[in-house]
Amino acid sequence: MTQTSTLARGGADTSAPSRRSRKRTRRSGLSPKAVPYVLLLPGFLVIAVLLLYPMYQMVEMSFHKVGLRQIKAINPAPAEFVGLDNYESVLGSPLFWSSLRNTVIFALVTVALTLVLGTLVGVLLNKLGRKMSTFVVVGIMAAWATPPTAQAIVWKWLFDSDAGVANWMLNLLPDWLSQLLFGRSDWSGQPWFNDTSTLYFVLIVAVVWASFPFIAVSVLAGLKSIPSELYEAAKMDGSSAVSTFRRITFPLLKPVFSVLVVLSIIWDFKVFTQLYLLAGGTTNRDAFNLSLWSYAEAFGGSAPKLGLGAAIAVVLTVILLLITLVYVRQIVKTEDDIR
Amino acid sequence: MSPLTRNKPGRVPPNAPRVVVLLFAVLPVRWRITPFKPWLARVSLNAAGVAVFLFAVFPVYWMVATAFKPNDQIFTTSFIPFPSPPSMDHVQRVFTKGVGELPIWQYLLNSAIVALSAVVLGAVFALLAATAVARFRFRFRTSFLILLLIVQMVPAEALLIPLFTMVKRIGLYDQLLGLIVINVGLTLPFSVWMLRTFVAAVPKELEEASWIDGAGRFTTFWRVLFPLVAPGLVATSIFAFITTWNEFVFALTLINDQGKYTMPVALKFFVGQRSTDWGGIMAASTLMTIPVLVFFLLVQRRMVSGLVAGAVKG
């Protein structure tokens, strides 16, 4: 690969081309050792100011009481240090447990469904002919490309109580089957967004719908990267389909899967836009997940509690960073270019 | 696939369940070899492909279809697959009367301003940083790359509260500029991460040749590296554009003036304000989705390789 060869040759700070580097110095007056730092500086500053400093500030705010008076543009009042009070009220709140439950259950179910569906579709794409495969890929692109806002709105419309397609389809089921599966046969006017469990059901469908294409296309890319010689050799040795999958396909796709699992967990843990829109804002406290709860405390009411919101965000971030560590380890392991 | 296909005719697989043994005794030999005939397998695979296609496309289709249906075909409990005849009423209304008494042009324009500015700014920073990590080895290089990975995972809601106070303090609240700056920050880590592979793929010999011919550092960068990285830069920028175009929570929190809403917030406002005007809502959603869909098809392949990083090796 070009990447590795470039690296093997080293960058400007290797000792070999000393004559050339002297030339460079003369031309631009910048020591070659300083070049990468100069190039990196603007980007690093942006990240530091817009991502790192706010993270530090978030932790700091979580120990303070921050309200409207503290965030005024003109001479804001100093924030009062309250120690662990915010965390105590987070952990003591019944909302914490309900939103943690919503977050975790939603993430587990969605990640599992997304991965299973995505993998199946990826395998299917690999088996389909070229034209059919392109056709399906373009189709699933449509789902993937739909902006989260539009996703939520479209699914809200599909599950509309009166004119939604979902209720119409459920009404199509033979009465006995509907009765057997759901204990009812008439779905006309069934509201989906009043009750937390049905709301989350729609949310899961919407998020799985939007995120399985990414898994499918990644799995397809992974499958395509496995050299066909391996399969031919396995066939020669009389390996069965199951053991070919277990011994060749799965081990070679394992790094892909672990990255996909972690990415999916992270994305589904912090789902916000779709939930916000499906739940219709921050009024339905029962439907909160950690993201939405944090937002609701900080911006939802007339008396914003930014410190409390920050404390919730810290809890969520800590959970996510723990999961991220697994991801980073995997990437560092597989990406020879990073070290 | 059935395990039966893998076996020689007439031989019962070891440890086969009783049913299978029984089937082997009963079925004619020819069937045992190919219980699934090839054409049957092909047809069922293609049928599954069509099913996946329909599941993925139907909601998007339904959005577009609803946008073009007259109201009496929207608010009905029966299923009307196509708008017949298609009506331009909703699209027209969204463009003229619009959302909250402002034509939708305003929001599309705001979104375009924010997304394009953030992309152009971000591209400059990303290109410089990507060149640094792809072309040079230096202390903190690994740390910087790992930092890029980690900051991408921090939930936006976590940054929202401190950035909100920061933006308020420096007087950028309720201004598109504030949104632009924040979107540069949000998209930069991924842009650098994605772009660095494109920079690394440009053969170093070209730059060295340019050195030997006496070109300066800047000339080499601008005349040799930049044209070769340009396609990658376009792909990265398109990704950043999509992210910024779709960004919801910051636009929701940092903008108060309705005339400065971006599309996602305008849609949310629309839904809240006229929750029963599904035709108009779907017309607006369609308008918002079109640019993303077009861009998406252009860069789809590269996005996968960027996201899964080194895990998928081509």
B-interface mutation test, from A154, A267, A297, A320, most B Cβ less than 10 A away: A154
How far is A300 from A292, CA to CA, in rounded Å?
9
The minimal CB distance from B125 to the residues A46, A165, A277 is found for A46
Q: Are B107 and B255 in contact (CB under 8 A)?
A: no
Closest Cα in chain B to A268: B155
Q: How far is CA B140 from CA A15, A97, A155, B133, in A?
A: 19, 40, 46, 10
Question: Residue A46's pLDDT is what?
Answer: 94
How far is B71 from A248, CA to CA, in rounded Å?
56
B216: its two tokens: 């300066």
Question: Residue B59's pLDDT is what?
Answer: 96
B6: its two tokens: 């893998």
B140-171 tens-digit pLDDT: 899 999 898 888 888 888 899 999 989 988 88
Confidence of residue B294 (pLDDT cuts 50, 70, 90): confident
H helix runs in A173-305, sequence order: 175-182, 196-225, 228-236, 241-244, 250-269, 273-278, 290-295
Of A107-111, A286-290, B209-213, the range with the lowest mean pLDDT is: B209-213
**Has residue B302 got a pLDDT over 50?**
yes
Break chain B into its structural domains and give their ranges. Answer: 3-87, 96-311
Question: How much is the average pLDDT of B201-208?
Answer: 85
Confidence of residue B23 (pLDDT cuts 50, 70, 90): low
CATH topology for the A80-334 domain: MetI-like fold (1.10.3720)
Collapsing DSSP states into helix, strand and coil, what is residue A280? coil
How far is B248 from B270, CA to CA, in rounded Å?
14
- Cis check: omega of the bond before B85, within 30 degrees of 0: yes
In order, the DSSP letters of A69-106 are GGG-SSSPPPPEE-TTHHHHHHHHSHHHHHHHHHHHHH
Q: Are A334 and B311 in contact (CB under 8 A)?
A: yes
Helices B176-201 and B141-153 pack at an angle, to 10 degrees, of 130
Q: Cβ–Cβ of B278/A157 closer than 8 Å? A: yes
Question: Residue A8's pLDDT is what?
Answer: 37
The minimal CB distance from B300 to the residues A57, A133, A141 is found for A141
Give the count of beta carbons closer than 10 Å to the beta carbon of residue B218: 10
Break chain A into its structural domains and give their ranges. Answer: 80-334
Confidence of residue A158 (pLDDT cuts 50, 70, 90): very high
Question: Residue A172's pLDDT is what?
Answer: 87
Interface confidence: ipTM more than 0.85: no
Closest Cα in chain A to B245: A147
A1-36 tens-digit pLDDT: 333 333 333 333 444 444 444 444 445 567 878 889
Within 8 A of A52 by CB-CB distance, chain B residues are 151
Within 8 A of B245 by CB-CB distance, chain A residues are 147
A228-253 tens-digit pLDDT: 888 888 888 888 878 888 888 888 88
Distance from CA of A259 to the nearest CA of B (A): 7
Within 8 A of B202 by CB-CB distance, chain A residues are 2
Does the pTM surpass 0.95? The reply is no
The minimal CB distance from A3 to the residues B54, B200, B308 is found for B200
B37-77 tens-digit pLDDT: 678 888 889 999 999 999 999 999 999 999 999 988 888 87
Q: How far is CA A151 from CA A146, A197, A211, B286, in A?
A: 6, 19, 11, 11
Q: Which amino acid is at A263?
A: L
**Has residue B312 got a pLDDT over 80?**
no
Strands in B62-177 per DSSP E: none
B38: its two tokens: 């090839």
* CATH code of the region B96-311: 1.10.3720.10
**Has residue A128 got a pLDDT over 70?**
yes
Question: Residue B214's pLDDT is what?
Answer: 85
Question: How much is the average pLDDT of B199-208?
Answer: 86
Question: Residue A331's pLDDT is what?
Answer: 78
How far is B300 from B298, CA to CA, in rounded Å?
6
Average pLDDT, chain B: 83
Q: Cβ–Cβ of B281/A280 closer than 8 Å? A: no
Looking up tokens 């017949």 gives B84
Q: Cβ–Cβ of A335/B161 closer than 8 Å? A: no
Q: Cβ–Cβ of B149/A136 closer than 8 Å? A: no
Question: Residue B299's pLDDT is what?
Answer: 74
Q: Cβ–Cβ of A47/B74 closer than 8 Å? A: no
Collapsing DSSP states into helix, strand and coil, what is residue A64? strand
Could you tell me if residue A157 is left (phi over 0), alpha (psi between -120 and 50 degrees) or otherwise beta?
Answer: alpha
Within 8 A of A39 by CB-CB distance, chain B residues are 128-129, 131-132, 136
Spatial CB neighbours of A70, under 8 Å, sequence gap ≥ 6: A64, A76, A77, A78, A79, A306, B165
